[in-house]
Amino acid sequence: MSLLIGDVAPDFEAETTQGPIHFHEWAGDDWVVFFSHPADFTPVCTTELGYTAKLKDEFAKRGAKALVISVDSVEDHKGWIRDIEETQNTSVQFPIIADPKREVATLYNMIHPNADPKVTVRAVYVIDPNKKIRASIIYPPSAGRNFDEILRLIDSLQLTDGHKVATPVNWQDGEDVIIVPSLTDPEEIKKLFPKGHTEVKPYLRYTPQPNK
């Protein structure tokens, strides 16, 4: 199954380190960062989960939470969590799904046979409160992810959902944004962006971030 941006994230039930979950019910009205790990007790994954745990408050500020999946068992996950907390000096407070039959991983296209038919790739799905997939990123098993970039992505999605803007290359929260090209009425532009704007080209117009 191929999941695309705009698709409804498939619902499922699964066992996790925090008990059974029904995904859509568990997600509630939050944004969800749902990401996979090839296996437990692996070095890159250990650093990723440790860093994600340290971002708990940053996720919470954005109304977001993390959900992790690995094909190993709940008991293996719990043992791995102890290692993560010991080596990364943090507390893992998000659920890790046990997926030994690879059912959820297959549902979310996290098994790429040409990469490795036995393990998941490093997939990331950003899912909004309407259960829509808003972004996806796929890494090979060997490459660790940049979770600061995932937070930046959520900032961009939430900003552009609420205002008629787009975010330029390497944008960071608080920097100038771009007025969307579909907005052409000068009076509407003045109303929506009272701080003014700079027109570089008719299609390239910068304005201060409107929610700051």
CB-based burial label for 90 (10 Å; 0-12, 13-18, 19+): middle
Residue 199 sits at φ, ψ, to 5 deg, of -100, 110
Which residues are annotated as catalytic?
A: 45
Strands (E), the chain: 13-16, 19-22, 31-37, 64-70, 96-98, 122-127, 133-139, 165-166, 177-179, 198-201, 204-207
3-state secondary structure 83-131: HHHHHHCCCCCCCEEECCCCHHHHHCCCECCCCCCCCECEEEEEECCCC
Angle between helices 43-54 and 147-162 (to 10 degrees): 40
The Cα–Cα gap between 172 and 95 comes to 29
For 210, half-sphere exposure in the C-beta direction (CA atoms, 13 angstrom radius) is: 22
Sign of CA dihedral 139, 134, 3, 55: positive
